[in-house]
Amino acid sequence: MRLTPFISLLLLVNNFCFGQTTKEQKFTVTVQQIVIAFSKQDSATISKYVDKKLGVYQLDRIGIFGHYNHFKTFGFSATTYPQVLFRQSKNVNLLPLHYASLPTWDCEKEVWSKKGLFVDTTKTDHLLSKICKDRNKYIPDNIPNKTIQFIYDLEAKSRRLVLYDNNGIELAFYLSYVNDKWFLTIIDNVSSDCSV
């Protein structure tokens, strides 16, 4: 009888750990599938990872300001879809995923600070909501506070990834965990754009 609470606790911890492992397994598989799909410019596979309600945000720089477009679907062939400057690399599917601090972009050298595929699970990035706030402040764009809050909440469920390989191939994107699934929600073309 005394062991029952202990066994219950052990089962609870085991279930919790299994749930985390499943979430991380889904994350790793999603990352691999998306990177391979980008390298092959496979719109169909990427579209499987774009939630129909959330869509995907593409971040770009226009002049000195960050800018975003929101798309409900994804495709490489149409000019209305996000243009991602990512080309096939021989070893892109072999890059291991590193859980570590993200590389930073050096505008003078025009390179990322380190090579590989990285995700930092200790930090939450709010680049898109900051772009929205800055646009309201300096342009002004009149982006509703409700929209900014929605984006901020989405970013809170997201992980930013940066890929930079030996061939100079780069890809920065965000995956968001919604309804027990990882979705591609943001493509970042701003961080490595130092144009003014």
Confidence of residue 65 (pLDDT cuts 50, 70, 90): confident
* Residue burial 161-182, b: 16+ Cβ < 10 Å; e: rest: bbbbbeeebbbbbbbbbeeeeb
Cβ partners under 8 Å of residue 40, min gap 6: 88
Question: What would the mean pLDDT of 137-145 be, rounded to a whole number?
Answer: 92
Please give the residue that has the higher pLDDT: either 3 or 114.
Answer: 114
pLDDT score at 78: 60
Question: What would the mean pLDDT of 179-184 be, rounded to a whole number?
Answer: 96
Q: What is the pLDDT of residues 93-133, one digit of tens each?
A: 468 999 999 999 998 998 999 999 999 999 999 999 999 99
pLDDT of 18 > 60? The answer is no
pLDDT of 15 > 50? The answer is no
Question: What would the mean pLDDT of 31-42 be, rounded to a whole number?
Answer: 89
Question: What would the mean pLDDT of 129-151 be, rounded to a whole number?
Answer: 94
User: What mean pLDDT is reported for the chain?
Assistant: 84
Task: Give the up-direction half-sphere exposure of residue 106: CA atoms within 13 A in the CB hemisphere.
Answer: 10
Residue 57 has phi, psi (to 5 degrees) of: -100, 135
Can you give the pTM of this predicted structure? 0.83
The sign of the dihedral angle between the CA atoms of 41, 44, 48, 52 is positive
Confidence of residue 16 (pLDDT cuts 50, 70, 90): very low
Amino acid in the structure at residue 34: I
pLDDT score at 82: 52
Q: Taking each helix axis from N to C terminus, what angle separates 145-156 and 127-138, rounded to the nearest 10 degrees?
A: 160
